[in-house]
């Protein structure tokens, strides 16, 4: 049964500490499993970010792919969105990115991509896990072992296609912080080619991340915020380690609120936008103003991508800065996201003013200790009973935990953490008093069940 197969994939690929969770042996087996799953003579793009363990893992994954009779299209050190793009552009059968995204230096991981640039779906990941668990690999005979081809020039195609998609007028001053990650060369180069005056920070690839930690949090972006203000820049852009995310800093040196920024860009694009159950209702209000709609799905960019594909949405993203642009590629792309924000500022004025004009409700986030064996029964009870403890309930969404929307626009989400032993409460109340009332009732409900 599937439940007996050890789980390797989390919400964003396979990820963990080097030698403890992620080893060359595991990478070899993942490579063998991919070629077994796809069948011999298929083409697989392989890239990696700046981490010190990346060449070791890239060689191991590639060896496994070759052993299964498939071809490796080696793209070298590139941001994750370039791997997704190259998989699509080169009509490859899959893509592999060696990265741990925003995790610290001792971590690494493996993420897999479909021919359209979309991340592997859960059922595909489960198939890879099953092949590895059952040790049922295809081994090509000596005359059919795969070959490696250098496809790094496809980065030039990515650059030209991005610039062709976005018509940006020269003149804006942008500070870009690349976190010593995979976009260290490419993001500043593309922004300059687009006509921006670029000041670059932490733009030397280094797997120790000496400039700042790869997580683009407010605590880690203090230097960027100061440089934007001191240099009089129009905005700042920050990437995580593999540049599938983008965080903005406004012209006053303030880190942009994740939800507000997503709401701004969503309203600019219009149509049907996909986001996650933990995103603010300000996105709904922004889209209502332009005749657009919002669809919510589970937390995780793969769920956003799948929903975009299923309903032919115009745009999608998580509040974390992981945005998908289906008109270009189904892989989250922090560089294209940066260009979208730059274009927005160019069209509509200072980012600080745009952000300040978006009203938001008081927000609260809490987490309650919960053993892993308690999560499922607690959430089953929450699905049936939690809505009944509130009045004026307008909607109940059960796609990922329990999200209750109220008639005045307030909402609360109760969901189990996917990585830690917690139940998380996230909410917005129209007033401070409403927010406190919503939180107190949810917390009391959970504590009583526990």
Is residue 301 part of an annotated ligand binding site?
A: no
Copy the structure tokens of residue 274. 């996909």
Identify the residue whose tokens are 């009203």: 359
Determine the Cα–Cα distance for residues 416 and 287; give it in Å rounded to an integer. 28
Length of the chain: 450
Q: Which residues contact 274 (CB under 8 A, 6 or more apart)?
A: 294, 295, 296, 297, 304, 307, 308, 311, 313, 315, 316, 317
Determine the Cα–Cα distance for residues 28 and 181; give it in Å rounded to an integer. 24
DSSP 292: -
CA 52 to chain centre: 22
For the stretch 349-354, contacts whose Cβ atoms lie closer than 8 Å and that sit 24 or more positions apart, written own/partner, are 350/234, 350/250, 350/251, 351/234, 351/235, 351/248, 351/250, 351/251, 351/256, 352/250, 352/251, 352/252, 352/254, 354/264
Q: Annotated catalytic sites, by residue?
A: 101
Q: Is residue 344 left, alpha or beta, with left meaning phi > 0 and alpha meaning psi from -120 to 50?
A: alpha
Give one DSSP letter per residue of 131-195, joined into a string. Answer: HHHHT------GGG---EEE-TTHHHHHHHHHHHH--PPTT-EEEEE-TTSTTTTHHHHHHHHTT
Is residue 266 part of an annotated ligand binding site?
A: no
195-231 core/surface letters (b: 16 or more CB in 10 A; e: else): bbebbbbbbebbbebebbbbbbeeebbeebbebbbee
Is residue 101 part of an annotated ligand binding site?
A: yes
**What are the strands, taking DSSP E only, across 385-432?**
393-397, 402-406, 411-416, 422-428
Is residue 177 part of an annotated ligand binding site?
A: no
Give the helix, strand, coil percentages of the chain, each rounded to 5.
Answer: 40, 25, 35
Identify the residue whose tokens are 């791997």: 83
Distances (CA, A) of 122 to 112, 291, 298, 333, 367: 11, 33, 12, 21, 26
Distances (CA, A) of 186 to 3, 177, 215, 337, 342: 42, 12, 19, 14, 16
For the annotated binding site for Mg(2+), the residues are 101, 240, 242, 244
For the annotated binding site, the residues are 101, 240, 242, 244
């Amino acid at each position: 049964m599937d439940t007996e197969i050890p789980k390797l994939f989390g919400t964003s690929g396979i990820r963990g500490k080097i030698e403890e969770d992620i080893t060359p042996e595991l990478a070899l087996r993942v490579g063998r499993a991919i070629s077994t799953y796809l069948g011999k003579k298929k083409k697989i793009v392989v890239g990696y970010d700046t981490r010190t363990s990346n060449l070791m893992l890239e060689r191991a994954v590639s060896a496994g792919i070759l052993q299964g009779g498939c071809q490796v299209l080696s793209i070298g050190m590139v941001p994750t969105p370039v791997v997704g793009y190259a998989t699509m552009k080169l009509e490859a059968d899959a893509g592999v990115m060696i990265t741990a995204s925003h995790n610290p230096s001792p971590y690494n991981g493996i993420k897999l991509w479909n021919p359209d640039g979309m991340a592997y779906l859960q059922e595909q990941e489960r198939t890879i896990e099953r092949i590895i668990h059952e040790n049922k690999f295809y081994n090509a005979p000596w005359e059919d072992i795969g070959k490696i081809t250098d496809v790094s020039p496809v980065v030039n195609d990515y650059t030209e296609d991005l610039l062709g998609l976005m018509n940006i007028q020269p003149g804006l001053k942008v500070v870009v912080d690349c976190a010593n990650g995979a976009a260290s060369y490419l993001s500043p180069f593309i922004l300059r080619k687009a006509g921006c005056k670029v000041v670059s920070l932490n733009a030397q690839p280094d797997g120790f991340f000496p400039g700042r930690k790869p997580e683009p949090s407010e605590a880690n972006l203090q230097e960027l915020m100061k440089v934007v203000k001191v240099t009089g820049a129009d905005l700042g852009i920050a990437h995580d380690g593999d540049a599938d995310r983008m965080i903005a800093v406004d012209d006053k040196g303030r880190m942009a609120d994740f939800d507000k920024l997503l709401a701004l860009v969503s309203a600019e694009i219009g149509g049907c936008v996909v986001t996650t159950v933990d995103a603010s209702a300000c996105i709904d209000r922004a889209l209502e103003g332009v005749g657009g709609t919002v669809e919510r799905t589970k937390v995780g960019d793969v769920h956003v991508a799948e929903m975009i594909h299923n309903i032919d949405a115009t745009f999608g993203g998580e509040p974390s800065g992981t945005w998908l642009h289906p008109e270009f590629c189904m892989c989250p792309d922090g560089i294209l996201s940066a260009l979208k924000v730059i274009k927005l500022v160019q069209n509509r004025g200072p980012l600080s003013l745009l952000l300040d004009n978006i009203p938001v409700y008081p927000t609260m986030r809490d987490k309650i200790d919960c053993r892993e064996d308690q999560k499922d029964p607690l959430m089953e009870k929450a699905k049936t009973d939690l809505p009944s403890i509130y009045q004026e309930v307008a909607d109940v969404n059960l796609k990922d935990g329990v999200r209750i929307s109220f008639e005045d626009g307030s909402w609360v989400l109760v969901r189990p953490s996917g990585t830690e032993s917690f139940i998380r409460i996230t909410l917005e109340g129209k007033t401070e008093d409403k927010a406190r009332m919503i939180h107190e009732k949810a917390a009391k409900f959970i504590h009583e069940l526990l």
